[in-house]
Amino acid sequence: MDNHAELPSLRTKHEVARAAIEARLAAGATFSTGIYALDALIDGIRPRTFTVIDAASAETRTILCGTLADNLNIQGAKVLFVTFVHSPEEIELRMACRRMNLRMEWLRNSSGRDISSLAAKAEAYLSAIPDNTVYLPTICPTVDEILLGINHAMNAHGVQVVVLDIGGFEMDRKDELFWLDLGRGLRRFASTGSLSVIAAVSSNEEATSCLQISATELLRMTSEDDGYSLGVILEKSIDVFGSVARLAKQAVYVDAAGPHMRDADAGSISVCGQASFTRHFQE
């Protein structure tokens, strides 16, 4: 035995407990996705996580991103929504339609009753909906431009969750190095800034394979045989706060109102939140 060897560092139970509690409190709040089926897979939206979602289609990708951002907004979370395809106005109109139980396609006929309903409920909606989300619209940005936007949102708005709806022809032309650098940058923000970062892509295998290298979680969405539900499979999970047993697959549904995404549980935050909006409209 080497008498000159350095003794291992020992810490008491209280020292370790205090350090663990302080680290968890410093990381910030955990929020529900608003879709209980997803919460069962990933334990909600937690700080210091980088989740990559391989969506079943471009439409379901945007519907899911908009739904998550909307559900987080009503919980009081500070959200940055980075959109590469749709305008912020289109995303917000979907969510307004969701809350008013309208469908986007119904509004194409400007003489229809749904336009009248939208006009009648607009002010009630704006007074009821919290204002916790900021948008960063961008087309074919560099990695530095994306990360600079996130950093600005953190400093100026105290953002806690970043949602990236990644798609579009120009983004499909990005090379492997772009996606690897973006993944590393997003993971760095998540781990050092106590953020939860959610990046959804669709029909881009190179983007998914590169981003998942840096991700703490990878979710894949598949169309189910019933024609109206989507399977969500948890393929990768690195829990930064300890290992937690999770379900491997859950089902989610696209609801025509909005449209938005929900689960089959009528007690979900989406439905409960909607009830409060409905009462507000009727007052």
Tens digit of each residue's pLDDT (9 = 90 or more) over 75-133? 999 999 999 999 999 999 999 888 888 887 766 665 567 788 888 888 988 998 999 99
CB 206 within 8 A of CB 179: yes
| Side chain identity, residue 38 | L
Would residue 114 count as lying in a domain? Answer: yes
Would residue 140 count as lying in a domain? Answer: yes
Domain that holds residue 204: 31-282
Q: Which of 222, 213, 206 is nearest to 166 (CA)?
A: 206
What is residue 121's predicted lDDT score, i.e. its pLDDT? 87
CATH of the domain at 108: 3.40.50.300
- Return the minimum-mean-pLDDT range out of 36-50, 98-112, 193-207: 98-112
CB 195 within 8 A of CB 160: yes
Sheet holding 133-137, edge to edge: 133-137, 79-83, 161-165, 196-202, 49-55, 217-223, 229-237, 249-255, 260-262
Taking the C-alpha atoms of residue 81 and residue 87, their distance in angstroms, rounded to an integer, is 11
pLDDT digits (tens, 9 = 90+) for 171-185: 888 999 999 999 999
Would residue 7 count as lying in a domain? Answer: no
Taking the C-alpha atoms of residue 53 and residue 76, their distance in angstroms, rounded to an integer, is 23
Taking the C-alpha atoms of residue 69 and residue 49, their distance in angstroms, rounded to an integer, is 16
Rounded average pLDDT over 126-150: 93
Q: Domain tally for the chain?
A: 1
Residue whose tokens read 């708005």: 157
What is residue 73's predicted lDDT score, i.e. its pLDDT? 94
Would residue 9 count as lying in a domain? Answer: no
What is residue 38's predicted lDDT score, i.e. its pLDDT? 87
3-class secondary structure, 81: strand
What is the band of 246 on the pLDDT scale with cuts at 50, 70, 90? low
CB 49 within 8 A of CB 219: no
Average model confidence (pLDDT) for the chain?
84
Q: What is the CA radius of gyration of the chain?
A: 21
Would residue 21 count as lying in a domain? Answer: no
Listed in order, strand segments (DSSP E) in 47-154 are: 49-55, 79-83, 133-137
The angle, 0 to 180 degrees and rounded to 10, between the axes of the packed helices 176-192 and 205-214 is 30
Residue 42, pLDDT > 90, answer no
pLDDT digits (tens, 9 = 90+) for 51-63: 999 998 999 999 9
Would residue 168 count as lying in a domain? Answer: yes
Which comes out higher in pLDDT, residue 34 or 283? Answer: 34
What is residue 153's predicted lDDT score, i.e. its pLDDT? 96
Q: Which of 85, 49, 48, 47 is nearest to 66 (CA)?
A: 85
What is residue 269's predicted lDDT score, i.e. its pLDDT? 59
Taking the C-alpha atoms of residue 129 and residue 107, their distance in angstroms, rounded to an integer, is 21
Would residue 199 count as lying in a domain? Answer: yes
Rounded average pLDDT over 222-240: 75
Would residue 109 count as lying in a domain? Answer: yes
Supply angle C-alpha 213, 192, 66, rounded to 5. 65
Residue 227, pLDDT > 80, answer no
